[in-house]
Amino acid sequence: MSNIVSNLSIILQRIEKACIDNKRDPAEVKLLLATKTVSAEYIKEALQVGQTLIAENKVQEIKEKYESLRDIRHTSHFIGHLQSNKIKDILKYDISCIQSLDRLDVAKKLQQRLEYEKKKIDVLIQINTSGEQSKFGVHPDKAIELVRSVSEFSNIQIQGLMTIGLFSAEAEKVRPCFRLLKQIQQEIIAEGIPNVNMHELSMGMSGDLETAIEEGATIVRVGTAIFGQRIYADSYYWNESQIG
Ligand SMILES: *Cc1c(COP(=O)(O)O)cnc(C)c1O
């Protein structure tokens, strides 16, 4: 037996407590399971006890686990770096939301493919709130411009923003990243751009979900605290130079 079910209950308690402490309705905050490197068997354990939202970072992993998870009800998001040449593949696997859209050229290709397949997709715009060169995401100063451009693609529906934030063991160092995401959300709302929703703020992970909830997260993405330590460093998934 794994510890997944007990880990999950600890996470759900942490989310609930953070909501109560910040006078937020726990129904406003969704738990997303970050399942990179986790086998379909373990993911199933979490789905069987009522979790419904999962996300992968690599198309290859979506593909590998797709058949095994097909017969169990869930929603899949994509939280990895989106490459143009993977768009066709990603649309095969019922991904309802791409949380990591950060470039206009990719958005353009996505729109073309969606038109061709007569499909629509939700996206979040990923913002690089930490200023770390290696991280993906549009620069905060360019966010509104990107949102404006993507809003013109009728098959792509923007639902909000996503950020990874500073990688730090201290939650307090991540807080300015979360605050910045919230601030950009407010600026975009004030622009009143047609065809743009800003209700989702995807931020916070295993180590800092309380801080993220305090700063307004509506989706927290948790991997390690549920499934255990991964063998690969996150840089394998997060850094441009490491993408194979
Ligand atoms: C892996 C990952 C997470 C989860 O991180 P943990 O520290 O394992 O909880 C969240 N967001 C993204 C984009 C990830 O790649």
Q: Does the C-beta of 34 come closer than 6 Å to ligand 1?
A: yes
Atom of ligand 1 nearest to the CA of 36: 1
Q: Does the C-beta of 36 come closer than 6 Å to ligand 1?
A: yes
DSSP string, 140-206: GGGHHHHHHHHTT-TTEEEEEEE------S-HHHHHHHHHHHHHHHHHHHHHT-TTEEEEEEE---T
Q: What is the pTM of this model?
A: 0.94
Q: Percentage helix, strand, coil, to 5, in the chain?
A: 45, 20, 35
Q: What is the pLDDT along the chain (244 residues), one digit of tens a residue?
A: 679 999 999 999 999 999 999 999 999 999 999 999 999 999 999 999 999 999 999 999 999 999 999 999 999 999 999 999 999 999 999 999 999 999 999 999 999 999 999 999 999 999 999 988 767 999 999 999 999 999 999 999 999 999 998 876 677 889 999 999 999 999 999 999 999 999 999 999 999 999 999 999 999 999 999 999 887 766 666 655 444 3
Question: What residue ranges define each of the domains in the chain, with the CATH number in brackets?
Answer: 3-229 (3.20.20.10)
Query: Separation of 58 CA from ligand 1 center, angstroms?
Result: 13
Q: What is the pLDDT of residue 241?
A: 46
Atom of ligand 1 nearest to the CA of 226: 9
Q: In Å, how far are 1, 60, 119, 185 from 163, measured between CA atoms?
A: 33, 23, 26, 12
Closest CA to 109 of 77, 85, 142: 85
Residue whose CA lies nearest to ligand 1 atom number 6: 223
Q: What is the pLDDT of residue 242?
A: 44
User: What is Dmax (Cα atoms) for the chain?
Assistant: 51
Q: Does the C-beta of 31 come closer than 6 Å to ligand 1?
A: no
Amino acid symbol at 93: Y
The answer to whether residues 143 and 181 touch, using CB atoms and an 8 Å cutoff, is: no
Could you give the CA distance from residue 226 to residue 109 in angstroms, rounded to a whole number?
35
Q: Name the residue of 32, 221, 222 whose CB sits within 8 Å of the most ligand 1 atoms, as the mutation to test its pocket.
A: 221
| Residues 2-8: contacts with CB under 8 Å, at least 24 apart | 2/42, 2/45, 3/228, 4/42, 4/45, 4/46, 4/226, 4/227, 5/45, 5/46, 5/49, 7/225, 7/226, 7/227, 7/228, 8/46, 8/49, 8/51, 8/226
Eight-class DSSP state of 83: -
End-to-end Cα separation, the chain, in angstroms: 34
Residue whose CA lies nearest to ligand 1 atom number 11: 221
Q: What is the pLDDT of residue 236?
A: 66
Q: Does the C-beta of 206 come closer than 6 Å to ligand 1?
A: yes
